[in-house]
């Protein structure tokens, strides 16, 4: 599962609220993004915030960063996702 800048735009448009997206999201948005994508974005935002606050062990941090790197195909997407930390 890959996170894209387009998926992050959708996530941001609905302020991270999956219920709003589920009820009022456009067909094209639902074709582009799955519930699993949504949950992965939310999970990574929370985990990156824990890293930022220094609340995780080095081992857990390494696992989070590995998942983050695997999910984000390029530096621009990584930066876009990191910009959401602390927002939702």
Note the pLDDT tens digit of each residue in 5-29: 999 999 999 999 999 999 999 999 9
Per-residue pLDDT, 1: 86
Q: How remote is the C-alpha of 20 from its chain's centroid?
A: 16
Distance CA 88, CA 28 (A): 23
Delimit the domains of the chain by residue range. 5-82
| pLDDT confidence band for 88 (50 / 70 / 90) | confident
Q: What is the arithmetic mean of pLDDT over 28-55? A: 97
Mean pLDDT across the chain: 96
Non-local CB neighbours of 71 within 8 Å, separated by 6+ positions: 1, 2, 3, 40, 44
Does the pLDDT value for residue 46 go beyond 80? Answer: yes
Return the pLDDT at 28: 97
Cα distance between the two ends of the chain: 21
């Amino acid at each position: 599962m890959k996170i894209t800048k387009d998926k992050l735009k959708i996530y941001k448009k609905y302020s991270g609220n999956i219920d709003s997206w589920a009820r009022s999201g456009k067909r094209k948005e639902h074709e582009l993004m799955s519930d699993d994508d949504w949950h992965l974005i939310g999970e990574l935002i929370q985990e990156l915030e824990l890293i930022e606050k220094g609340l995780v062990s080095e081992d857990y941090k390494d696992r989070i960063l590995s998942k983050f790197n695997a999910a984000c195909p390029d530096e621009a997407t990584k930066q876009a996702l990191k910009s959401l930390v602390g927002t939702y």
